[in-house]
Amino acid sequence: MQALLQQIDTSRLPRHIAIIMDGNGRWAEEKGQERLYGHFHGVESVRNIVEGCAELGIEYLTLYAFSTENWDRPQPEVEGLMTLLVETIRKEVPVLNKNNIRLHVIGELSMLPDFARTALNEALALTAANTGLNLVMALSYSSRWELVNAVKNIAKDVKAGKIEPDSINQDTLQKYLSTSNLPDPELMIRTSGEYRISNFLLYQLAYAELYFTNTRWPDFRKENLYEAIIDFQMRERRFGKISRQIKAKELHK
């Protein structure tokens, strides 16, 4: 792991990493266990990766913890996930504070049960003063929901005379997204061998580097994170330009 760490250029870290934590259920089923067994062990991976990002100096880490589509899963699994969520959040708040990590939450939180919203609000308040890593949990989140919600709110403000339709641009839409106070992710990691974005930060990932690994989330650790960052740093990020332009810009820095 130390050898991997030494390959990382700390001057070129992604400012914001987003992760689709996939494969908990399949990991458990492969071991002959109930799906919740995988989610329980996935919490260990969350702790490890949050710690790894904080140690590196990553500013923002967004974890796709529960999508709006996940509400359609079997009821016992959903109820178990909500209970695990609350227990984990309450247990981890002292650790977040010790490591100066601030918690944020994005998503359609009105769909969460009352006890889960209460625990989240407590954690948000208790970590609000922290100035280190910003840990963003996407809960009951759907990018299509987010975009529809943004359009609705823009329409309301146009109707109220607060916005002129002709003045609407990319910056306008950005301000109405649930991530309005966050930079866009530069690196998106998805575990467990699936090659989809699955309704996750569709607008925000427009220029993110995408990294897919076959490793199931419960097995994902710091060394896997380091491999993803090394891969990210080997890529040339052109943003629609050509290589010659990027190299010329680097020379003039």
Annotated catalytic, 70? yes
Residue pair 107/140 in contact (Cβ under 8 Å)? The answer is: yes
The string over 80-106, giving b where at least 16 C-beta atoms fall within 10 Å of a residue's C-beta and e elsewhere, is bbbeebbebbeebbeebbeeebbbbbb
Kindly state the tokens that stand for 61. 């880490």
Q: Which of 9, 24, 70, 149 is catalytic?
A: 70
Residue pair 86/122 in contact (Cβ under 8 Å)? The answer is: no
Going from the C-alpha of 21 to that of each of 112, 143, 233, 246, the distances in angstroms are 19, 16, 22, 32
Short-list 166, 151, 169, 140, CA closest to 73: 140
- Using CA atoms, how far apart are residues 40 and 81, in angstroms rounded to an integer? 9
Full DSSP string of 196-209: --TTSSTTTTTTPE
Going from the C-alpha of 205 to that of each of 16, 201, 250, the distances in angstroms are 11, 6, 24
For Cα atoms 101, 105, 107, give the angle at the middle one, nearest 5 degrees.
160
- Using CA atoms, how far apart are residues 102 and 123, in angstroms rounded to an integer? 9
Q: Which of 22, 24, 134, 224 is catalytic?
A: 22
**Active-site amino acid positions:** 22, 70
